[in-house]
Chain A
Amino acid sequence: GQQLNQSPQSMFIQEGEDVSMNCTSSSIFNTWLWYKQDPGEGPVLLIALYKAGELTSNGRLTAQFGITRKDSFLNISASIPSDVGIYFCAGPNYGGSQGNLIFGKGTKLSVKP
């Protein structure tokens, strides 16, 4: 079945550093979604990508839809302590029931002030 593999699993960085994480799949996706989960809260949508090669920014966040449609990248520039959390990639579950999403296992980000 479809799976999303996120890397790295966790990151420990210094405030001010740039962050890069990615999500890969053996299957093609037509949509990539990036969510962030703050400690003690539910995941919140950060960026949605709908077209291969698309590069979309949201403040200090930039995400790209890979040209092969099998991967996506999320970059955070000049990290700050509130960037701490778990970042999930997600895509439509084409192999399962319509309307469902598949989630990666997440990248846990820790930022040292």
Chain B
Amino acid sequence: DAGVIQSPRHEVTEMGQEVTLRCKPISGHDYLFWYRQTMMRGLELLIYFNNNVPIDDSGMPEDRFSAKMPNASFSTLKIQPSEPRDSAVYFCASSFFETQYFGPGTRLLVL
């Protein structure tokens, strides 16, 4: 199994631009999670889906952030417009039961 796949691995953009992060979960997993990691705040859960349906989006910082899961094998996290404080590493994870499997992350830098 290829594991959780995320793209891009690195993204550098300018403030105000739209950023789209992509995730392909492990086949057969019915949960998908988006996390953000920074030095100051550690690992934060942003949103998660079960069977493609958003279950809890209380961690999404503000309306500039949105996430979709159009099918069982693909999810996106979009930031529009991006701001410098959004700079972080964004992880996608998937699970079938309790154990979550993480992707390699997308390192985002907003200038």
Contact = CB atoms under 8 A, between A and B. Distances in A.
Interface residues of A, number: 21
A95 to B, nearest CB: 12
B50 interface: yes
B25 interface: no
Interface of A: 31, 33, 35, 41-45, 48, 88, 90, 92, 96-101, 103, 105-106
B70 interface: no
A46 B93 CA distance: 15
Given A33-B98, A42-B104, A103 B43 contact: yes
B99 A100 contact: no
B42 interface: yes
A92 B91 CA distance: 19
Contact of B105 (A31, A41, A92): A41
9 contacts: A41-B105, A42-B103, A48-B98, A92-B98, A96-B56, A99-B95, A100-B48, A100-B56, A103-B43
B92 to A, nearest CB: 9
Contact of A45 (B33, B45, B101): B101
Contacts of B104: 41-42
A67 B33 CA distance: 30
